[in-house]
Amino acid sequence: MLFQSNRPYCGMEFSENSSATQYTPHATLLRQLLISSLMALAMFFLCVGKSLAAEHIIQMTAEEVHEDGFGSKLMAYKMLSHTVNGTNITHRYSNHATIPGPTLFLTEGDTVNLTIYNDIPGANAGVLKGISSQVSVHVHGVHYKIVSDGTLKVINQEDDQGAGVGPAQTHANYSYTWDVAPGTAGTWAYHDHNYETHNGAEHKGLFGAIIVNPVGAANYAKEFVLYLTDDAFWGMEIDSHGMKQKKHGINPDFIARKDSEVRFHLIALGTDIHKFKLSGYQWADPGTNNMINEVAIGPLEKHVFTVKATKNAQYSDENFTNKLMGMVGKLKVSH
């Protein structure tokens, strides 16, 4: 296993292609582990007096996307830039607005300064009948002060905390500070809370995930992010090699190398209650040692599990209507 290495420590830049981040075959695992440990140890001593915590500066915007051909639109977040202690890692993200939005990898102890912009047509038009044109980023799981709640003033009693024209305040952009404090490890949703009403447009595509790892956490060959919505899975795949975010969209087919450790990040969103299955696999229920092979998950719950990719499988939602509407995808295991 490797130490978390998707970001530089102490301003020391790792090449995205350095051996420390590459997929590691089993045979060399032990050796690699030793080297990595030594490197980390060395770095720790090199950085005495400096915190291991990283500072993330993130800029994102929201756009209209996925014209369905019949005039109905969705919205999506787009990464504009992401630097970690000054190192630019923006190339890991799609150049386009995507559903789900960018997956942000963080480590306990980090801080995040995220600024949201708004490129949705009408963002700067006046507010009609109190309808908000703002978009925001409301995050789950991590610590933040009330000014970073990403909600409208009608909720937080402080400010319309988004970009665009709000019912009470207007901002060209809005910045949030997150304290990725100890105890916040896990996978969490972020989503809009301000578009049109105080409920926002999370169900129109404005959602994404943060993955908070503990310091020194295991690394996984692949990270699969899957949002369970009312008629489809929206997902993406991230290869630990290069951390490039790919395969955005509906019911993606995931690919894993045989016997590699892969991690699924499930978050539900919408109105339906789902029952997730990954055929032929079982996994530990988070926070317990219980092995399970299906899980009930409701909107904005998260469920993170790892499996060793041993065989092809189908993932599915067993919800009556969703299953009949084809809410399934594949895990393809290659040799």
Partner 1 sequence: MNKYFSGLSIPLTKMTVLILFTVTMLASSMAFAAVHNITLTAETLPNGQLAYKLSGEARAAIPGPTLFVKQGDSVNVTLTNNTAVPVSFKVPGVGEQNPAMTAPGATATYAVDATTVGSYVYHGNSNGKELLGLFGALIVDKTDGSVERYVNDNGALTAVAQADIDKQLVLFMVGSTFWATEIVDGIQKPLWANPILGAAEDEIVRFHVLSVGPAHTFHLHAHRWLKPGTDSVIDTKLLVDGADAHSFTIKAGAGVGKGDWQFHCHLISHMEAGMHGSFKVGGAGTSSTVGASPYGRILLGTDDVPGLVTFEISDEGASWFRSARGDAIVGLPYDIKTKSLEVMAPGSSVNFVMSDTNGVHTISTLLWPTGAHHMPFDQTSAYRGGGIIKLDTPGLYVFTCKVHPYMFGAVIVDDPNTVGLDLGNPEKEYKIDLVTGISGLPTSSDLAVRLLRTFFVATSPDNWQDYSSQIWNVKFPTLPVRISGAPFSEELTQGGVSAPLSILNVNDAPLALLGKPAVPGVGEVWINTQFEKTDGKTKPGTITVVDAKNWTVKRKIALPEINMNNPHNMWVNRDQSVVYQTQWFDTKLTMLKRNNGQLIKNIHVGDTPSHVMTLPSNDDITIAINGENGVALIPAGKFEISKILPTQAAGHTSANPHGHWVSADGKSIVTPNINTGDIGIYGVDGKIHSRTSTGNNAPGAHPIAIGMMPDSSKVYAANLLHHTLSVLNGDTGALIKTINLIADYHPITGAFADNDGNGEIAVGVLPIQSPVSPDGKAVVIASTGGQIVIIDTATDTIVKMLPCDPGCHGANFGAKKGGGYYAYVSNKFSNRMIVVDIDPNGDGNIADAGIAGDVALVAGNNTAIDDTVNSLPGFGGQGVLAIPVVYNGWVQNLPSKWKKGLTDAQKNPIGH
Query: How many residues bind partner 1, per CB under 8 A?
Result: 62
**Interface segment toward partner 1; rule CB under 8 A; list 54-62, 82-90, 169-177, 297-305:** 297-305
Is residue 317 close enough to count as binding partner 1 by CB under 8 A? no
Is residue 86 close enough to count as binding partner 1 by CB under 8 A? no
Is residue 157 close enough to count as binding partner 1 by CB under 8 A? yes
Is residue 122 close enough to count as binding partner 1 by CB under 8 A? no
Is residue 284 close enough to count as binding partner 1 by CB under 8 A? no
Binding partner 1 by CB under 8 A: which of 15, 26, 27, 288? 288
By beta-carbon proximity to partner 1, the closer residue of 234 and 240 is: 234
Distance of CA 13 to the CA centre of its chain: 23
Is residue 192 close enough to count as binding partner 1 by CB under 8 A? no
DSSP 157: S
Is residue 11 close enough to count as binding partner 1 by CB under 8 A? no
Binding partner 1 by CB under 8 A: which of 107, 184, 194, 245? 184
E strand or H helix at 44: helix 29-46
Is residue 324 close enough to count as binding partner 1 by CB under 8 A? yes
Residue 155 CA: distances (Å) to CA of 159, 160, 161, 201, 263: 9, 9, 10, 16, 35
E strand or H helix at 29: helix 29-46
Binding partner 1 by CB under 8 A: which of 151, 194, 213, 245? 151
**Residue 102 exposure: Cα atoms within 13 Å on the Cβ side:** 28
Inter-residue contact 320 to 331 (CB < 8 Å): no
E-strand stretches of 33-110: 55-65, 74-84, 87-88, 104-107
* Residue 183: strand, helix, or coil: coil
E strand or H helix at 45: helix 29-46
Residues lying near partner 1 in the complex (CB under 8 A) are found at: 66, 68-72, 74, 99, 108, 130, 138, 140-141, 143-146, 149, 151, 155-158, 179, 181-186, 188, 197, 199, 202-205, 229-232, 234, 250, 270-271, 273, 285-288, 296-302, 320-321, 324-326
